[in-house]
Amino acid sequence: MNASPQEPFKSKLFFCWLALITGAIGGHWIYAGKKRFWFYMLTFPVSAFAGWVDTMRFGLMKDEQFNAMLNPEYPADTKQTTGAVVVSVALSLAFAMTGLMATLAMVFQWYFSGMVS
């Protein structure tokens, strides 16, 4: 009997926190076993925003969709959204908005100071 080893269960909580903390280098995709992390490594400064967006996207995703995408061998109705997932989504929103506002402030500063014409 050739029983293939079952894929390890991917936790939504761990995935979202990895996306929040190591999203700039694609750490959450390494955990998921996908090769998308190369994109994050190549676009490092901008990819921090992509990691925060992934935290929000996957944190707010329905558990059935998340399990269908990353845990196809397990029951789709496995509950994974907890308060800690919601906290990671809130923090990623805060980090993304802070980064966006800081970027806009610097661009306006450079534009109106005459550095960029």
Query: According to the model, what pLDDT value does residue 115 have?
Result: 67
Q: pTM for the full model?
A: 0.80
* Inter-residue contact 54 to 23 (CB < 8 Å): yes
Establish how many alpha carbons lie within 13 A of residue 85's alpha carbon, considering only the half-sphere containing its beta carbon. 20
**CA-wise closest residue to 46 among 23, 15, 66, 17:** 23
Which stretches in the chain have pLDDT values below 70?
1-5, 115-117
* Inter-residue contact 80 to 12 (CB < 8 Å): yes
d(CA 34, CA 24) in angstroms, rounded, equals 15
In the chain, domain spans: 12-112
Determine the Cα angle at 48 with ends 44 and 53, to 5°: 135
Q: Per-residue pLDDT tens for 28-44?
A: 888 988 888 888 888 88
16: tokens are 């979202």
